[in-house]
Chain A
Amino acid sequence: MKALQEKARELLAAKTVQVVIGYGRGSGGTARAVFIREAAQAGLLVFDGSCLQNLAVYLMKPEVRKLGKAALVARPATLRTILQLAAENQITENSLLALVPSGEEIVLLATFAAIEAHVAAQDNDLSAAEKEELQKFAAMGLEERRQFWQEQFSRCLKCYACRAACPLCYCTRCTVECNQPQWIPVPAHDLGNLEWNVMRAMHLAGRCVNCGDCSRACPVGIPLYLLNQKLISDVFTNFNSRSGIFAKSDNALSTFKPNDSEDFIR
């Protein structure tokens, strides 16, 4: 924590960055995002097991962008998000630095290449527990699975906290907000909720970096991560592709290749 505060102080004092986006103390023993703009406030930064939010979500927020170059306190999934946003041409290399707490040290990653090298050395696969949970779902019958999701989605309020918390749901106009034509029903009834939740997950297929913020954001506790992890697993199996690994890459589900093995697409 000392090293993090010291590094933030140094970067702000030298004007290397204009803002350090990190974690500070929140309510009820949680951590919350803080935007440190003065070296004197660097003491507010904390880093521990309660620091869960993927702070890369703020790289896409206009009010945060206008503050200038940012140093972002990054967890493993945050680094993958940075690379994925870069691959989707949403951020430029000179707009940020990543600060990675590693034991007592802070690793400063100043380029996309440095982030790629760091990510290559970390485990980016689903965890054993996550894989096991997916297996359980795979073992369920279709009807059982349908019932499970119907019950889960019936509680969806369509507050869109999952969308807001996701750093890769950055569209300024989401499909649910288009009404000429209306693709997805607006009301939070069974059909509207099913279509919204399936669409959300599918738009992230091959893009989601498994940070888990959608599920953490959901006020009614729908396990959205299951859908995302299933798609991560399927995209890896079918296309040997993982998101958030390279700053330049093509998304598996939105790239056309003339030599595609499937006939229907040619």
Chain B
Amino acid sequence: METDKRSIEREALAKLVSQWLSQGKRVLAPKHSGDKVDFAWVTTLDEVSFGHVQTVQSPKAALFPRVDELFSFRSADGRVEISERDLGALPETVVFGLRPCDAAAFAVLKAIFNWDSPDSLFSARMARTTLVSVACSRDDEYCFCTSMGGGPGAVTGSDILLTDMGQGSFLAEIVSAKGREAAMAAGPLFGPATSAEKESRLARVDAVFAPDAVTAPMARLFDDTAFWEEQSRRCLGCGACAYVCPTCACFDIQDEGGVSGKRLRCWDSCGFGLFTLHTSGHNPRPLQSQRWRQRLMHKFAYMPERQGVLGCVGCGRCSRACPVDMNILEHLRAVAEARP
């Protein structure tokens, strides 16, 4: 992709963050918290972590919060009044310091939320969100973006991609109109790019397989009960993988209140037994092995088929967060290597 290449110094970047804040934008960025790094609302560049490999959670909460009010209701005199959210009042947001894999993940969320009928709340948030990513100079054994079609310096999905060129200088690749707008506001803060050679600054993440190697055997593996039982035996059925995942978008609807209240959208996970439990008591997925199969099938078979996108960007968060070390890369390798 052809991008507009500039450079920006760290001090100018700090000014840029202040400018966004003074324009009324919220800035979500990776921040140290105890021994972890996670996304938080920040007010200065100094709060932002740069040296980490990956945050615990993805930045999806900026567009898909773990609890989101869809509308409020009031019932009086036998009538129910619905008050819609004022979408125009949603705040402008800059997600800063996300990784290229995270930026790619927003395209996946967009595909899910606009699959059959467009989700107005999600789309309104997306329209007000600018993604300023920072390329990866480090990786770890859980990273596999290059096996999912991405890369540590990939620009796809970002509005601006920054690459740390050393000595407090960043290469800024301005990718989209939104990125241009966010940068333009800063005007003189950006200079001409001194060097666009960023490859040497990037982590080297070797591709383990091509996406097709995983998606192709999926349909055939569906009925292989022994395979899924073997693969999922230590899985405990929590929602940690889904909740830290940048592309998992399943939700549960809850009404709170009595005659007046709110309808809320809450994160949900196919790992839970309750996820598919019917009112009758029947559960089409009573076993964890079936739920684990669903997790992989959804990402690597159903989404490519329905939305034309892979449901995974290879960020490795699920593997890092899993209490029992369900390492998704290993499981995908097992899928790719499964013999009929």
Contacts and interface: CB of A to CB of B under 8 A. Distances in A.
Main secondary structure of the interface of A (DSSP, over half): mixed
Nearest to A177: B274
A185 interface: yes
Interface of B: 33-36, 38, 56-57, 66-67, 140-142, 229, 232-234, 236-240, 242-244, 252, 254, 256, 264, 266-267, 269, 272-274, 287-289, 319, 321, 323-325, 327, 330
B316 to A, nearest CB: 10
A220 B254 contact: no
Contact of B256 (A27, A34, A187): A187
Nearest to A189: B67
Contacts of B238: 159-161, 163-165, 217
A106 interface: no
A27 B325 contact: yes
Nearest to B327: A27
B239 A26 contact: no
Given A33-B234, A53-B324, A188-B266, 14 more contacts: A27-B142, A32-B325, A61-B288, A63-B232, A159-B239, A160-B272, A161-B321, A172-B273, A186-B266, A187-B66, A187-B266, A213-B323, A219-B244, A221-B33
Report the interface size class on chain A. 35 or more
B237 to A, nearest CB: 5
Contacts of A30: 325
A120 B204 CA distance: 53
Given A28-B140, A64-B233, A221-B35, A160 B67 contact: no
> Which are the 5 A-B pairs with shortest beta-carbon distances?
A217-B323, A164-B238, A164-B236, A159-B239, A32-B325
Nearest to A62: B287
B244 A57 contact: no
Contacts of A221: 33-36
Given A217-B238, A219-B56, A185 B36 contact: no
A2 to B, nearest CB: 24
Contacts of A246: none
